[in-house]
Amino acid sequence: MNIIASKSALTGRITVPGSKSHTIRALLLATLAEGTSHIKNPLPSADCLSTAAAVPLIGSEIDLNLSTEGEPGTEWIVRGAGKNLHLPDDVVNVGDSGSLLYFLTPIAACFEGTSVFTGDASIRKRPVLHVVDALNQLGAKSFVTRPGSNGCPLVINGSIRKGGIVRTPGEVSSQYISGLMMAGILTENPVKIELSNPKETPYLTMTQKWLQKVGIKCQVSEDFKHIETSPCKSFKGFDVTIPSDWEGVAFPLIAALISDSKITIENVDSSGTQGDDAIVSILQSIGGNIVWDKEKETLTVCGGKLSKDGIGRLSTENCPKGELHVNISGFPDAVCALSAIACFTEGTTVIEDAAVCRRKETDRLKVLKIELSRLGADVEEKEDSLVIHGHSPVLKDGSKNPEFILHGAVCESYDDHRMAMSLSCMGLGLAEGEKIIINDAECCAVSFPHFYDVMNTINANFTKEV
């Protein structure tokens, strides 16, 4: 499916689906628990549904409360495997979910026998040798099936059941660290993780809070370089409501700021467990008119002519040395949204410490350079950063800025959900008559099902190319 995006003004209220990160953790821990868990407001995305399909292979039962049309319901019921948890019954196909791959492999490695993990073409390009090394340090005998490859299929022999110490950089991804933290529930002795270069640390905090929520003892040092999970013979199922996904909030947020829009985003997670909420203060620092009511859990966003000053010009001029510098290592999934809005911001934006972004669904630094340049943006790609020299569509007095030259084009999504959503949002801020066509845009279902339909309820006017 190809999507056409063009100038539009958003209005109304929107609710973003539940958090993918929270939903997957909830499904995995509910599977490890004794008894029944109720998960409300889960994200029915492709990654979460892949998780729901995988965890029964290790002993749980999942009821998605499907509608007559086959749509997952708003409350999922998990009957935990508990003491009957076992080696996967079959090859585990994680689909396109890196989270599931990195979380579940350490859990499966707690059992004697052989487990096999694979996924779609994208997953088979995602690095796994760091997982192989970590598991083998703890006593497993894991390997990839293709000599010279750093991707699935991944085979795990032996077991990490004894626990112990694992030393690993932690810079490739936080997800396998979270997997090791959860695996520590099942081991005979604590799992102690020594990280030399921890990244995406808010997600490690999220995992720690989840473990503590279900009664597991988990210690994380202030610098995130020392983590320890203590074994637990059993813990009970739980009831939980999944908060909204900040990674999804980013897209209507930037769309409203680059257009003559006023929207309210509801059910916003104010718990501080998602590092991506940093995007609010970043956008406010460049002039974004955003009001976050943490009691009501809403974001009110005004852009363009509907902003407080009636102009809505975004600029880095009030940032230190006149440039916006964002260390993205703690919330790398925001790189696409931040890069997109940087193209509409007067001044230079530097997205730093971003090497982890090369190891997502695609090499996001590389493809952002390609696609944003295709739209007329001035982008520099460096080894671990992007530098974007942007221009606001308007000058300080609200008149048209002659240096703003972004234009429409046909763009590729690279089957990357965040690329597809970012590019489509950019179309709303272009000049009248310009349009962006995003090829293979249906990939947004990975994290935001029905994204285009939901955005159209607030007047995005996305259309399908026929």
Q: Would you please indicate which residues are annotated as catalytic (active-site) residues?
A: 333
Give the span between the Cα atoms of 340 and 425, in whole angstroms: 8
- Length in residues, the chain: 466
N- to C-terminal Cα separation, the chain:
9
CA distances from 167 to 208, 445, 460 (A): 19, 36, 48
What residues contact 272, with CB distance under 8 A and at least 6 apart? none
CA distances from 380 to 26, 383, 403 (A): 39, 10, 18
Place of tokens 């739980």: 238
The DSSP call for residue 340 is H
Contact 418, 438 (CB under 8 A): no
Strands (DSSP E) along 360-418, which ranges?
A: 378-382, 385-390, 409-412
Give the span between the Cα atoms of 9 and 168, in whole angstroms: 48
Nearest 10 degrees: Cα torsion 211, 215, 220, 222:
110
The DSSP call for residue 214 is T
- Local structure of 36: helix, strand or coil: strand
The DSSP secondary structure of 394-437, one letter per residue, reads: B-TTSSB-TT-----EEEE-TT-HHHHHHHHHHHTTSPTT-EEE
- Local structure of 78: helix, strand or coil: strand
